[in-house]
Homo-oligomer: A and B are copies of this chain.
Amino acid sequence: MRIALDAMGGDHAPGPIVAGAVEAVHDQPGLTVVLVGDRDRIEAELAKAPQADLDRLPIVHASQVVGMEEKPVEALRKKRDNSISKCWGLMATGDVKAVVSAGNTGAMVGSALFNNKMFLPGVRRPGIAAIFPSHQGPIVLIDVGANMNAKAEDLYQYGVMGSIYAETILGVSEPKIGLLNVGTEDDKGTDLTKSTRAIYQKSPLAHRFIGNVEGRDIYEGHAHVVVCEGFVGNVLLKAGEGAVDFLFATLKQEMARLMSVVPAESGQAMASGLSALKSRFEYQEFGGAPLLGIRGACIICHGASGDRAIKNAIRVASTMADDKLNALIVEQIAAGHIAES
């Protein structure tokens, strides 16, 4: 398995990105991670890891980087030798089976969407899936920002693709699909939600479609796949991050106050409990968001990703490619339904 990693993408690249790749190839014997980016800087990072298996960490030089805040379309046009486009180039030629980047999300998606030869047969528009925690374990929210003009047919295909992801990667059998809406009644929502609902109900997925779900239902976990348009999903994903940060910042203040009134060892137990808890809410564990509907596998990581997040993203990317997830997507999109398992 060969995977291309955008070594220059991320708030702290290339340090933690290269470190994550070193750990990933150490953990997975058959894996090669192609490090794409500035050769000198990547070599400097590799030199810090004398245990690294350099044979499985080849470098492909790219002289340019798309900045995290740059306008994607413009940057991709002006910087022809950027690391993201080069990763996709390796995928287009079949040199790698997956692409992983913690860089500019717009540029990652833009590179994939520019060339609709990268779309899987039958797929209208690729979608980004994000993993949310819930009372019942992790669930999939799709789309979180690849498509700003979703049609009902797109939202149907997101349900197909999200379900296959939930089954093959999260291990959920017969995942239930919910349509994000402002109420559970049939006639709630917009023209888009109404027509999407109609498509699901007439489709062979009808028996797994649980209808409308509301914002709070995401965390209940009754739907394993929650379908929404990219604008809403993106806002939700980022608001969720903001809420967790805000809550833990407030908790930390409260803890500081408690620390002064409880014995030291209790304080330490609390602090370590809190930190263990926070990790359950962090994107690091989930390893990033897959872009579904393209040839090959693609994982988009959070800009702040550390080495653990990158290592996990590489693991998920190689599983996605291994599991023939795309073959299932093509088959079930063509059949217009998810086959009974």
Given A148-B182, A239-B239, is A246 in contact with B135 using a C-beta cutoff of 8 Å? Answer: yes
Bound complex: CA A235 to CA B141 (Å): 13
Size range of the interface on A? 35 or more
Bound complex: CA A102 to CA B261 (Å): 39
- CB pair A266 B262 closer than 8 Å: yes
Name the contact of A254 in the complex, choosing from B180, B230, B277 (C-beta under 8 A): B277
Bound complex: CA A276 to CA B231 (Å): 35
Give residues of chain A (200-222) contacting chain B, Cβ–Cβ below 8 Å: 214-220
- CB pair B258 A243 closer than 8 Å: no
Bound complex: CA A30 to CA B69 (Å): 55
| Stretch of A85-93, A165-173, A185-193, A329-337 at the chain-chain interface | A185-193
Given A241-B216, A246-B134, A262-B262, is A180 in contact with B235 using a C-beta cutoff of 8 Å? Answer: yes
Give the number of times this chain occurs in the complex, counting copies.
Answer: 2
Give residues of chain A (252-271) contacting chain B, Cβ–Cβ below 8 Å: 254-255, 257-258, 261-263, 265-266, 269-270
Give residues of chain A (217-237) contacting chain B, Cβ–Cβ below 8 Å: 217-220, 228, 230-232, 234-237
CB distance from A341 to the nearest CB of B (A): 29
Chain A residues in the interface with B (C-beta under 8 A): 69, 71, 106, 133-135, 145, 148-149, 180-185, 187, 189-190, 214-220, 228, 230-232, 234-247, 249-251, 254-255, 257-258, 261-263, 265-266, 269-270, 273-274, 276-277, 280-281
Additional 6 contacts, C-beta under 8 A, given A148-B182, A215-B238: A69-B184, A181-B235, A182-B235, A218-B242, A244-B247, A250-B277
Can you sample 6 A-B contacts with CB below 8 Å? A182-B234, A215-B237, A215-B242, A216-B241, A216-B245, A250-B277
